[in-house]
């Protein structure tokens, strides 16, 4: 079953003004429930527009968008939709406003109608998931935290109201290796819980280890959407550069090796992985 379906979606910024920009042009896309779905593309390719449309922060000009049971063309108030679609923005500074981490974490759940007790249980669960020491951080001022800690607070504040779809905008930006590793673990835990994860990223190592499917955007159009291995087989490194990503070393190496079919390709990857103990 699809969590998100885009049918011939078009979006224009600043319509009928000198700054008019067509950001999406005839986008067709399906994201299945429980998938980890990555969106790649260069700056201005329409990635941010696409994820904002899922949360109805923007409204499409034409076409239809269906997110879970909500039809974007008929939905009057997006409140119920946003309860089920959480979005973690690239810069946590844009959402933090409370003086204590605890208050910051409780803001979302309370807005979505959770009781304080229920919210606290969920917050503690989400802190375990995101690797944030709740007891150590709950009384700290969020403005005094480091970039990585702020991001963890932002993630917990969204996970706390238990959305079905979680959207990440550049989740690895500004994170160190250990934080990226814990983020990876969190992605898999969320997948185990049946959550759908949609992420925009340029970090190919992160993508290659986490993703089920990848979508390549260019000039507001979906150029390709499929599983990661298919994508790596289909495009050369130079072609992928157009989408702001670079093939992982192992795939670049395989480009030099001839293979018969997809299974042969997968087998050779496995052999090399075994060789290097990856």
Partner 1 sequence: MFDGILLGQYVSGNSFLYILNPVNKILFCFTFMVLIVCCQSIFWTVNLGFIVLLLFFSAKLPFLAVLKGMKTILFFLIITFIMHIFFTSQGQVIFQYSKIIITLEGLLNALLIFFRIFFIIMINSILTLTTQPTEIAWGFQKLLYPFKIFKFPVDEFALMLSLALRFIPVLFQELGKIIDAQKSRGAEFDSPSFIKKILSFPPILIPMFINSFFRAEEIAMAMEARCYSNSQNRTHFTKIHTGFEDLFFVIFYTFITLVYLYLYYFKSYDLSVF
Cβ nearer to partner 1, comparing 129 with 240: 129
Cβ nearer to partner 1, comparing 82 with 247: 82
Report if residue 108 touches partner 1, rule: CB under 8 A: yes
CB proximity list for 49: less than 8 A, separation 6 or greater: 11, 13, 23, 24, 58, 220
CB proximity list for 204: less than 8 A, separation 6 or greater: 245, 246, 247, 248
Cβ nearer to partner 1, comparing 16 with 260: 16
Question: Considering the complex, what minimum distance in angstroms separates the CB of residue 94 from partner 1?
Answer: 5
Report if residue 79 touches partner 1, rule: CB under 8 A: yes
Judged by CB under 8 A, which of 95, 172, 179, 201 binds partner 1?
A: 95
Report if residue 258 touches partner 1, rule: CB under 8 A: no
CB proximity list for 64: less than 8 A, separation 6 or greater: 5, 6, 7, 8, 9, 71, 72, 73
Scan for tokens 């063309």, then name that residue.
Answer: 73
CB proximity list for 179: less than 8 A, separation 6 or greater: 148, 151, 152
CA–CA separation, 85 and 162 (whole Å): 9
Judged by CB under 8 A, which of 33, 52, 124, 191 binds partner 1?
A: 52
Judged by CB under 8 A, which of 158, 197, 215, 254 binds partner 1?
A: 158
Residue numbers at the binding site for partner 1 (CB under 8 A): 13-19, 52, 55, 57, 79, 82-83, 85-87, 89, 91, 93-97, 107-108, 111-112, 143, 157-158, 161
């Amino acid at each position: 079953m699809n969590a998100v379906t885009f049918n011939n979606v078009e979006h224009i910024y600043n319509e009928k003004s000198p700054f008019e920009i067509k950001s999406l042009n005839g986008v067709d896309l399906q994201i299945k429930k429980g998938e980890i779905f990555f969106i790649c593309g260069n700056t201005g390719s329409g990635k941010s527009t696409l994820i904002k449309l899922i949360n109805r922060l923007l409204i499409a000009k034409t076409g239809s968008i269906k997110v879970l049971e909500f039809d974007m063309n008929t939905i009057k108030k997006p409140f119920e939709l946003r309860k089920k679609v959480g979005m973690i923005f690239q810069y946590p500074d844009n959402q933090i406003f409370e003086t204590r981490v605890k208050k910051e974490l409780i803001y979302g759940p309370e807005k979505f109608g959770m009781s304080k007790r229920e919210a606290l249980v969920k917050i503690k669960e989400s802190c375990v998931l995101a690797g944030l020491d709740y007891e150590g951080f709950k009384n700290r001022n969020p403005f005094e935290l480091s970039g990585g800690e702020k991001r963890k607070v932002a993630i917990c504040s969204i996970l706390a109201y238990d959305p079905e779809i979680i959207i990440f905008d550049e989740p690895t930006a500004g994170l160190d290796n250990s934080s990226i590793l814990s983020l990876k673990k969190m992605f898999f835990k969320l997948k185990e819980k049946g959550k759908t994860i949609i992420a925009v990223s340029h970090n190919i190592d992160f993508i290659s280890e986490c993703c089920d499917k990848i979508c390549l955007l260019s000039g507001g159009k979906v150029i390709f959407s499929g599983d990661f291995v298919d994508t790596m087989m289909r495009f050369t490194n130079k072609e992928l550069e157009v989408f702001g990503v670079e093939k992982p070393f192992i795939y670049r190496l395989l480009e030099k090796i001839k293979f018969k079919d997809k299974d042969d390709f997968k087998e050779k990857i496995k052999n090399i992985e075994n060789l290097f103990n990856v």
